[in-house]
């Protein structure tokens, strides 16, 4: 038991550290090629930020526990849309500004999050459904990139592209190793404590996987780059719900407890609807609204613990 807990702690550290380094050096590479802020925040950093849950989900599928990976994805998304937003707003000590371009580019955001819920109502994801989710996510990213490519360019800094590339590869290796042991050790701990492994995925591994976007967003709001923070979180959530779930299904079509969709999935979609309502209310998210998001996350935790019993 203690051995599994130690391995789980170390593996989560490797996942977070690997993702943080990957985010940092991917940003440096993007800067070196003069990509726009929109591209770096919403596309590049968001894609790198999903690597922890992606690697965990893929490893869970390989280990024969795809439901664990699905729990990580949905649980992490609920946390991103509520807990993470509330933390960065309270940390900033001010309202977070929402650019009109973000609202225009994400009108169909809640609808896209609803897609994996609809496809998973029967408690199964096939390869065709997985491919559909990937296509939907890729199209959304393409349209977002097309609209945002003309954004303000980040000043080109002198940095070694070779060093950044090597560090990026090293961080990906840390992610791969950490995610493998996170799945195996978390499953062992859950079995020992007689806890549903999906809960471990949602609230231990899932929260750990949100650290890259949290750290990046905290740094962004500190520099008053609110759009980078918001773009990173929204981009991460969308990729998790479509592309990563799709990859999971393509690797190995799987069945899962339908309550994952009926509980965590519905909470995820509802959280996005509430979040966008706050965004549209005054083109910002206030500290009062941040507290509401935090309370919503607590309700999610209580509901999941109740359903698990």
Q: Give residue 295's pLDDT.
A: 95
CA distance 256 to 297: 23
For all residues of the chain together, what is the average pLDDT? 75
- On the question of pLDDT at 135 being above 60, the answer is yes
Write out the H or E segment, with its range, that includes residue 181: helix 161-193
CA distance 112 to 137: 8
**Letter string b/e over residues 144-155, b meaning 16 or more CB atoms within 10 A of that residue's CB:** bbeebeebeebe
Q: Give residue 294's pLDDT.
A: 94
Of the two residues 115 and 165, the one the predictor is more confident about is 115
- On the question of pLDDT at 260 being above 50, the answer is yes
∠ at Cα 240 (235, 246), nearest 5°? Answer: 125
CA distance 33 to 44: 12
Q: Give residue 152's pLDDT.
A: 45
Number of domains in the chain: 1
Q: Give residue 303's pLDDT.
A: 86
Residue 27 pLDDT grade (very low, low, confident, very high; cuts 50, 70, 90): low
Residue 258 has a CB neighbour count (10 Å cut-off) of 14
Q: Give residue 196's pLDDT.
A: 63
Q: What's 238's domain CATH number?
A: 1.20.1420.30
What percentage of the chain exceeds 70 in pLDDT? 63
CA distance 245 to 70: 7
pLDDT tens digits along 38-86: 555 566 666 666 777 777 777 777 777 767 777 778 888 898 899 999 9
Q: Give residue 81's pLDDT.
A: 92
Q: Which domain holds residue 189?
A: 2-308
């Amino acid at each position: 038991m203690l051995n599994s807990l130690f391995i789980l702690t170390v593996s989560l550290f490797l996942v977070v550290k690997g993702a943080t380094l990957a985010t940092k050096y991917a940003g440096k590479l993007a800067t070196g090629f003069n990509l726009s802020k929109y591209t770096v925040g919403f596309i590049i950093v968001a894609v790198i930020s999903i690597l922890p849950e992606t690697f965990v989900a893929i490893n869970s599928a390989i280990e024969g526990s795809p439901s664990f990976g699905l729990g990580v994805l949905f649980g992490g998304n609920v946390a991103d849309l509520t807990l993470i937003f509330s933390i960065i707003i309270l940390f900033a000590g001010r309202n977070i500004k929402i650019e009109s371009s973000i609202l225009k580019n994400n009108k169909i955001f809640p609808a896209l999050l609803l897609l994996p819920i609809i496809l998973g109502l029967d408690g199964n994801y096939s390869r065709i459904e997985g491919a559909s989710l990937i296509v939907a996510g890729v199209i959304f990213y393409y349209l977002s990139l097309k609209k945002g490519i003309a954004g303000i360019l980040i000043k080109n800094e002198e940095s070694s592209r070779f060093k950044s590339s090597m560090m990026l590869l090293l961080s990906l290796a840390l992610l791969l190793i950490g995610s493998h042991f996170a799945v195996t050790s978390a499953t062992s701990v859950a079995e020992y404590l007689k806890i549903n492994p999906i809960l471990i995925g949602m609230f231990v591994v899932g929260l750990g996987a949100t650290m890259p976007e949290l750290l990046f967003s905290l740094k962004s709001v500190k520099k008053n780059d609110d759009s980078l923070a918001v773009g990173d979180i929204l981009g991460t959530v969308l990729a998790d719900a479509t592309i990563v779930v799709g990859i999971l299904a393509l690797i190995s079509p799987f069945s899962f407890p339908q309550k994952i969709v009926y509980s965590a999935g519905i909470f995820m979609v509802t959280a996005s609807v509430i979040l966008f309502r706050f965004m549209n209310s005054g083109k910002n998210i206030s500290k009062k609204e941040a507290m509401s998001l935090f309370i919503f996350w607590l309700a999610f935790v209580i509901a999941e613990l109740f359903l698990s019993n």
